[in-house]
Amino acid sequence: MPNVIELPQTNQLLGLYSIIRDKNTRRGDFVFYSDRIIRLLVEEGLNQLPVEATTIITPTNQSYQGVKFLGKICGVSIVRAGESMEQGLRDCCRSVRIGKILIQRDEETALPKLFYSKLPDDINDRYVFLLDPMLATGGSAMMAVEVLLSRGVKQERIFFLNLLASPEGIDAFYKKYPKIKIITGGIDEKLDEQRYIVPGLGDFGDRYYCI
């Protein structure tokens, strides 16, 4: 599917996922190995940014034909699980701006509801890394995208980074926002009757922050 980028399923990556999927993995190990995957996702996101040619002079006084990034970036995390991905972005991009969007399920309607958003004033001029570890039904992510679009961000400037995605979530998200690139660490089998990703890895936020 165009604009869906899955990380290469190398032995290293499969090993990392085997650790964080294991229900017996302790929180410290879950955080450590999740952070490694998040770093790989951020690196792939940076690979997708546009560049332009530039010439620099090396310490040997030789010219080198290189490239430089076009435009500024920022991260936007979907609170709270998405906040786990912020440090991985900061590790790769010094002084990167971070915005936050809080979306929770309305208990009466069972639909996602926007509670809070705080975004850089110039976000419409930036490339946006939307951060959320899991793409299940896609409801929260699509509401977050609507917030970004309302602030003038173009679809083609949004990159949605997640550790795991369901086929159903990808399909729903892509149909609505075909110009947004989804960068995922893995695509799982399906959603179950409770709309959880399977085989999955459980509640990412709870495992990262609480258990």
Active site residues: 105, 109, 203, 206
The residue written with tokens 């929260």 in the block is 140
Spatial contact of 124 and 153, defined as CB atoms under 8 Å apart: yes
| DSSP-based three-state secondary structure for 17 | helix
DSSP assignments along the chain, one per residue: -TTEEEPP--HHHHHHHHHHH-TT--HHHHHHHHHHHHHHHHHHHHHTS-EEEEEEE-TTS-EEEEEEE-SEEEEEEEETGGGGGHHHHHHHSTT-EEEEEEEEE-TTT-SEEEEEEE--TTGGGEEEEEE-SEESS-HHHHHHHHHHHHTT--GGGEEEEESEE-HHHHHHHHHH-TTSEEEES-B-SEE-TTS-EES--S-HHHHHHT-
